[in-house]
Amino acid sequence: MDRAEMEAFWMPYTGNREFKKKPRLITGAKGAYYFSEDGRKIFDGMSGLWTTGAGHNRIEIADAVSEQLRRLDYSPAFQYGHPLAFELAERIVSLTPESLDHVFYTNSGSECTDTSTKIARAYWRQIGQPAKTKIIGRTRGYHGASWGAISFGGIPANKKLWGQAVDSDHLKHTLLPGNEFSRGLPQSGQDLADELEDIITLHDASNVAAVIVEPISGSAGVIVPPVGYLQRLSDICRKHEVLLIFDEVITAFGRIGDWFAASAFEVTPDIINVAKQITNGAIPLGAVIVKGEIYQAFMESDSPEYVAELPHGYTYSSHPVACAAAMASLDILEREGLIERVRQLAPIFESKVHQLRDSPNVLDIRNYGFAAGMTLKPYPGDPTRRPWEVAMKCWENGFYVRSGGDTIQLGLPFITTESEMDSVVNAIGDALS
Ligand SMILES: Cc1ncc(COP(=O)(O)O)c(C=O)c1O
């Protein structure tokens, strides 16, 4: 493709000018590999975008999608339903911690962010506390690109352009000096959660609807919570009657060696958001999973029964083809024991990725499950350049890894072999050198 043919597409979160001068076009994929337009095989060190843990082009998903497209390509999302949406919801809630037992479908992580926080605000209104509207997020938190997501999220580049659209405040992130090169959960820093007491006190609990956090921040460079931190957040939320939302768009369905971070860390929030891995990335689908008492509060509405209890939804909420892709993906995760595989191989990945500790310009390495992030020393005044250069060097050498802010990120496919782990770690080491 020449540059003129590429102009029409305004690419998201991409330096369009640079890309169109030197495109990195992906034309095919199989298993843990991409194939590039220039005929190279490239190891997918990010499972797409944290999406495709079971490997690319899974025939079972293709068959399920194709069959569904022939049987029922679309059915109206409002006032009508199709059986698969109900079956999938049952299946999802059978995997979540017990009390999380109702599913509201979306199409993306950003829509989950808006949906979950809208449900939180509407819930408090529903039970007679309409002033509880403020949402507390975290600095460095990433919840997507919607107005809600950039408001509760803590990404400075988003704030710079768009400010804050929805009433929010922010807890500090959990990157604590002294915790560099922790393996898995850092041992210290639980107290960082106590700041939530101060924020809730400042705004008064009667004005606060929910706290939304990623149990492990992904896009900010795999920031892992200190031991006990999430439990502490949960305790403070309970104490002040504030809902706790876990944004598990990256952590759910295997990435951290469990179905959910809520199960792995034994902290049950009021709402869990999922997307990405639920269809192995093949078709967009997201879901907001809520506690029974939240759902029931809406069902006890005194409006006539034919009126929507929650006036919210998307044309493609519960799209039949997405539901079929999700069913097939969950089948693969279960049948092939991929989540167990991640759990078993995570310590091996951990020891390999921490070998990069002594490479030039590495300031920190963090990891959990099949996710790892490393912070690189910034060029003066230009923190994003070095990770970008490293990612580009890796690409040239046949490895796709992600640069985000001042970090390099790895989100290995769940099917990654030990020798592939060595290769991708060596590729990053070579690039750093
Ligand atoms: C934790 C988290 N939430 C939400 C999102 C947004 O998802 P989407 O890009 O599907 O809107 C992302 C995307 O990376 C994410 O990592």
For every one of its 433 residues, what pLDDT tens digit does the chain have, with 9 covering 90 and above?
A: 777 889 999 999 999 999 999 999 999 999 999 999 999 999 999 999 999 999 999 999 999 999 999 999 999 999 999 999 999 999 999 999 989 999 999 999 999 999 999 999 999 999 999 999 999 999 999 999 999 999 999 999 899 999 989 999 999 999 999 999 999 999 999 999 999 999 999 999 999 999 999 999 999 999 999 999 999 999 999 999 999 999 999 999 999 999 999 999 999 999 999 999 999 999 999 999 999 999 999 999 999 999 999 999 999 999 999 999 999 999 999 999 999 999 999 999 999 999 999 999 999 999 999 999 999 999 999 999 999 999 999 999 999 999 999 999 999 999 999 999 999 999 999 999 9
For 3-54+337-432, CATH number out of 3.90.700.10, 3.40.50.300, 3.30.428.10, 3.90.1150.10 equals 3.90.1150.10
Give the model's pLDDT for residue 3. Answer: 77
pLDDT score for 1: 77
Query: Nearest residue CA, atom 3 of ligand 1?
Result: 143
Ligand 1 nearest atom to the CA of residue 113, by list position:
4
Question: Which atom of ligand 1 is the closest one to the Cα of 286?
Answer: 10
> What spacing in Å lies between the alpha carbon of 18 and ligand 1's midpoint?
24
| CA 214 to ligand 1: nearest atom | 1
Q: Which atom of ligand 1 is nearest to the CA of 149?
A: 4
| Ligand 1: lining residues by beta carbon, under 6 Å | 108-110, 113, 142-144, 214, 218-219, 247, 249-250, 275
373 Cα to the center of ligand 1, angstroms: 17
Q: Among 110, 112, 151, 248, say which to mutate for ligand 1: greatest number of ligand atoms within 8 Å of CB.
A: 110
Q: How many CA atoms lie within 13 A of 411 on its CB side?
A: 29
Atom of ligand 1 nearest to the CA of 49: 14
What's the pLDDT score for residue 2?
78
Q: For residue 273, how far is its CA from the centre of ligand 1 (angstroms)?
A: 10
39 Cα to the center of ligand 1, angstroms: 30
Can you tell me which atom of ligand 1 is nearest the CA of 145?
11
Q: What is the pLDDT of residue 183?
A: 98
Ligand 1 centroid from CA 315, angstroms = 20
For a ligand 1 pocket test, name from 107, 276, 314, 409 the mutation site with the most ligand atoms within 8 angstroms of its C-beta. 276
Protein residue with its CA nearest to atom 13 in ligand 1: 144
Cβ neighbours, 10 Å, residue 296: 12
Structural domain spans, the chain: 3-54+337-432, 63-335
Give the right CATH number for 63-335 from 3.40.640.10, 3.40.50.300, 3.40.50.970, 3.40.50.1220: 3.40.640.10
Q: From the CA of 276, give the closest atom in ligand 1.
A: 10
Interstrand relation of 26-30 and 33-36 (parallel, antiparallel or unpaired): antiparallel
**Atom nearest to 146 CA in ligand 1:** 11
Cα 280 from chain centroid? Answer: 13
Pocket test for ligand 1, best of 250, 272, 285, 368 (most atoms within 8 A of CB): 250
Of 13, 213, 219, best ligand 1 pocket probe by most atoms within 8 Å of the beta carbon: 219
Q: Which residue's CA is the closest to the ligand 1 atom numbered 7?
A: 109
